[in-house]
């Protein structure tokens, strides 16, 4: 195992052991920053689900918060899967030829 990786894991465990730092979205943060990041991500999620912002806008905002691209892609894919799609106008199809009826 890479010594740098081992050192970072040990440091992370030392910090979190004393209850000061929290690990979220690939970041180690103090409690206030942790809560703030959590609330900002939740706000972006709610705005996307209400379709107040686009998927690309949500991704950009998450990246600006310092969240890594793979994590952003995973979160936005999960959120996008829960979006309510509004159905379009009903289109009748002729059962004999499969063409739309006018």
Question: Which pLDDT score, from 0 to 100, does residue 43 have?
Answer: 95
Query: Is 97 among the domain residues?
Result: no
Banded model confidence at residue 96, pLDDT cuts 50, 70, 90 = confident
Provide, rounded to the nearest whole percent, the portion of the chain with pLDDT above 90. Answer: 33
Q: Which domain holds residue 12?
A: 3-81
Per-residue pLDDT of 7-29, as tens digits, reads 877 877 776 666 677 778 888 78
Query: Is 99 among the domain residues?
Result: no
CA dist., res. 26 & res. 23, Å (int): 7
Query: Is 74 among the domain residues?
Result: yes
Tell me which long-range contacts 81-84 makes (C-beta under 8 A, separation of at least 24).
Answer: 82/49, 83/48, 83/49, 83/51, 84/49
Question: Which pLDDT score, from 0 to 100, does residue 83 have?
Answer: 78
Query: Is 101 among the domain residues?
Result: no
Question: Which pLDDT score, from 0 to 100, does residue 65 have?
Answer: 92
pTM of the full structure: 0.64
Per-residue pLDDT of 60-77, as tens digits, reads 999 999 999 999 999 999
Which residue, 39, 18, 22, is CA-closest to 30? 22
Question: Which pLDDT score, from 0 to 100, does residue 67 have?
Answer: 92
Number of domains in the chain: 1
């Amino acid at each position: 195992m890479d010594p740098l990786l081992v050192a970072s894991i040990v440091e992370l465990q030392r910090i979190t052991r004393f209850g000061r730092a929290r690990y979220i979205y690939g970041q180690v943060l103090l409690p206030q920053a942790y809560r703030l990041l959590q609330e900002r991500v939740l706000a972006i999620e709610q705005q996307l689900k209400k379709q107040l912002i686009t998927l690309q806008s949500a991704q950009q905002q998450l990246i600006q918060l310092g969240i890594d691209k793979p994590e952003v892609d995973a979160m936005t894919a999960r959120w996008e899967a829960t979006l309510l799609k509004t159905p379009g106008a009903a289109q009748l199809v002729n059962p004999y030829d499969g063409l739309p009826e006018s």
